[in-house]
Amino acid sequence: MKKIFIKKSMKSNKNLQKDYRYEKKFVLQGIELKKIEEIIKNNPSMFKEIYYERQINNIYLDTLDLRNYYENVFGHSERIKIRIRWYGKMFGLVKNPVLEFKIKKNKLGEKKSFKLKNFILDEKFDYPALKKVFAESSLPSEVVETLKRVFPSLLSSYKRRYFISSDKSSRITLDYHMEFFKINKRVNLFVNKTKNNKIILELKVPYEKFEKAREITQHFPFRLSANSKYVSGIDLLS
């Protein structure tokens, strides 16, 4: 999987500047959402909220031996997460789902996205149904080959708010109210749900704006922390 998506993406510094960004995460507990919002808006980079609060849903895909999970756990410098993402209600008709390959190269992150056909997520949803979605979604051949080696491994949902700096160069997301459900390639009753009361603040800055990231984070009274919602979900449901 990494051979297809990561190595193709790392051809030159020019590509890095175009596709990659620095991503810094802060895992917050014991602090109110309103207080975090005040800290963000009081940053010298003058962040303001954009869009509106959205519910984000994901079906993560992994190999049968959870290779992507373990590469994240052990902090491999080159790693990948594969997920299907959509917004709004989790169950029922899934509208405008997107297949995403989230690629990590050391401290840099990139995302490759592919539109999928709408589908129904309910207790009858299974791997054959998902394969049919892939087959009817006009995906590139290299993506189709990669998907033959992965299966549903986790279903997640959380709320997200968005902020942007006054110069439009940097973005912050706040994720909270996280829920995780077991899901596999055979039967999905969506039981064994678990919650996570953490709040994840993530700063996203373009590759060429590295100093900007340092300038912003030095005004946060938080410590940087590695975090993967996928890893957290698998761990909580194990």
Read off the pLDDT of residues 177-231 as tens digits, 9 standing for 90 and up. Answer: 999 998 876 656 565 677 888 999 999 998 887 788 889 999 999 888 878 899 9
* Pairing mode of beta strands 48-62, 194-196: unpaired
In the predicted model, is pLDDT for residue 23 greater than 70?
yes
Give the tens place of pLDDT for each residue, 110-136.
889 999 999 999 888 888 889 999 999
Conformational region of residue 139, where left means phi above 0, alpha means psi within -120 to 50, and beta covers everything else: beta
In angstroms, rounded to a whole number, what is the distance separating the alpha carbons of residues 158 and 54? 8
Q: Give the pair of three-digit tokens for residue 184.
A: 């596999």
Q: Which of 232, 9, 194 is nearest to 110 (CA)?
A: 9
**pLDDT at 167 (0 to 100):** 92
Band (pLDDT 50/70/90 cuts) for residue 8 is very low
Domain borders along the chain are: 2-8+21-237
Task: Name the CATH superfamily housing domain 2-8+21-237.
Answer: Hypothetical Protein Pfu-838710-001 (2.40.320.10)
Q: Which of 199, 110, 219, 201 is nearest to 163 (CA)?
A: 201
Instruction: Write down the pTM of the prediction.
Output: 0.87
Answer whether 85's CB lies under 8 Å from 10's CB.
Answer: no
Phi, psi of 226 (to 5 degrees): -70, 140
Q: Could you report the per-residue pLDDT of 55-93, keeping only the tens digit for each?
A: 999 999 999 999 999 999 998 888 899 999 999 999 999
How far is residue 222's CA from residue 219's CA, in Å, rounded to a whole number? Answer: 9
- DSSP state string for 117-169: --EEESTT--HHHHHHHHHTTT--HHHHHHHTT-EEEEEEEEEEEEEE-TTSS
- 212 and 170 Cβ atoms separated by less than 8 Å: yes
